[in-house]
Each structure stands twice: as structure tokens, then as C-alpha cells.
């Protein structure tokens, strides 16, 4: 009986930590339409952020405003936690910065190109200077601090 218990516990670990597949229902589609954050694909990334295929050695930001790029997945709880925070920030700083979102499940090549091993990963992209990567969910106050310091140089 104990062996069965241990086996069940092992199974539990596997099931518990399994990834959830992408959610693509109509409710999510409707929510996406109201979003102020911008969903990026690889093609968009190459034209709006940095063309790492043409210029893989030197970072050159192509945008006209600083940006935050959120690497996320639909099955990731902490990503869901920061999603409304990013929407609020997009509404507050909409004219000063871009807030992009990249689905690491849909854009696996993009995630691999940036070595994303933990989600959410947040890339802060200033107009000048090196981009900075933060791992893990952050509270809104920390986001605001990062926007002011890294992106807007306040």
C-alpha cells in the first residue's frame, strides 16, 4: 500500500508541475482587443525592437520610445499576476513608453534568442544605453521605479 502511495505522490509531482496549454478561447480574444500593451511576434520584434538576424553582434534599438518587453506564458501564474499591472502602466505611461508582450510558447525562437529560462522575464529597453533584464514578478512600485530610472532617466 505504501508503494502505491509513493507512486501516486510521484505522479502528483509530475501532474502538478505540468505546463498548461495555451488558452485560445473567445473571451481571451476579446480581452486582448481591449489591451493597451502590444503583443509582439518575431516579425514585429525585428522591425520595432531590434533586428538580431541582421545585426546579432550589436544591440541597436529601433523604436522611437523606450520600451518594456514582457516575456510570458499563458500557463504561468506570476505572469498572470503582473499582466494587469502592465496594463495599468501602459495606460499611465502610454505616451512615454511602449509595453510589449511576447508569448514564449508562441514565439519560442524569440525566447530562445534571448535565453529566457524564467518567466516572467522583463526587458527594460531605454533609448540610449544597454537594455536591462529582470526575472520574476515585480510589484507595481518596482516597475514604476525601473521606468523612471532606467527608461525615462528621471
Partner 1 sequence: MRKYLNNWDAVRIIRLLAGVGFGIYAVVSKEYLFLMLAGMFLLQSIFNVSCCGAGGCSTEPKKTKTQVYKDQIEQYKG
Residues that bind partner 1 (CB under 8 A): 1, 5, 8-9, 11-12, 15-21, 23, 25, 27, 50, 52, 56, 58-59, 73, 75-79, 104, 108-109, 111-124, 130-138, 142, 145-146, 150
Q: How far is 72 from 114, CA to CA, in rounded Å?
A: 13
**CB 124, min distance to partner 1, A:** 6
- Is 76 a catalytic site residue? yes
**CB 121, min distance to partner 1, A:** 8
Which residues touch 103 (CB under 8 Å, ≥6 apart)?
22, 39, 72, 73, 74
Closer to partner 1 by CB, 90 or 150: give it: 150
**CB 145, min distance to partner 1, A:** 7
Closer to partner 1 by CB, 34 or 95: give it: 34
Residue with cell 537594455: 131
**CB 92, min distance to partner 1, A:** 19
Closer to partner 1 by CB, 1 or 95: give it: 1
- Work out the number of other CB atoms within 10 angstroms of the CB of residue 146: 17
Q: Which of 140, 49, 65 is nearest to 98 (CA)?
A: 65
Q: Which of 100, 41, 103, 116 is nearest to 65 (CA)?
A: 100
Closer to partner 1 by CB, 58 or 95: give it: 58
| Alpha carbon separation from 103 to 11, 14, 16, 40, 138 (Å, rounded) | 28, 23, 22, 8, 18
The catalytic position among 50, 69, 76, 138 is 76
- Is 17 a catalytic site residue? no
Q: Report, as residue numbers or ranges, the catalytic residues.
A: 76, 79
Amino acid at each position: 500500500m505504501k508503494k502505491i502511495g509513493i507512486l501516486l505522490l510521484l505522479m502528483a509531482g509530475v501532474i502538478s508541475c505540468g505546463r498548461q496549454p495555451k488558452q485560445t478561447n473567445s473571451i481571451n480574444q476579446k480581452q486582448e482587443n481591449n489591451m493597451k500593451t502590444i503583443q509582439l511576434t518575431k516579425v514585429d520584434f525585428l522591425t520595432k525592437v531590434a533586428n538580431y538576424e541582421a545585426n546579432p553582434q550589436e544591440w541597436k534599438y529601433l523604436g522611437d520610445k523606450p520600451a518594456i518587453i514582457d516575456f510570458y506564458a499563458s500557463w504561468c501564474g506570476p505572469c498572470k499576476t503582473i499582466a494587469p499591472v502592465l496594463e495599468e502602466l501602459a495606460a499611465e505611461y502610454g505616451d512615454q513608453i511602449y509595453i510589449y508582450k511576447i508569448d514564449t510558447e508562441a514565439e519560442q525562437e524569440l525566447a530562445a534568442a534571448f535565453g529566457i529560462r524564467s518567466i516572467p522575464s522583463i526587458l527594460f529597453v531605454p533609448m540610449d544605453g544597454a537594455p536591462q533584464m529582470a526575472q520574476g514578478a515585480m510589484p507595481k512600485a518596482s516597475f514604476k521605479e525601473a521606468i523612471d530610472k532606467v527608461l525615462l532617466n528621471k
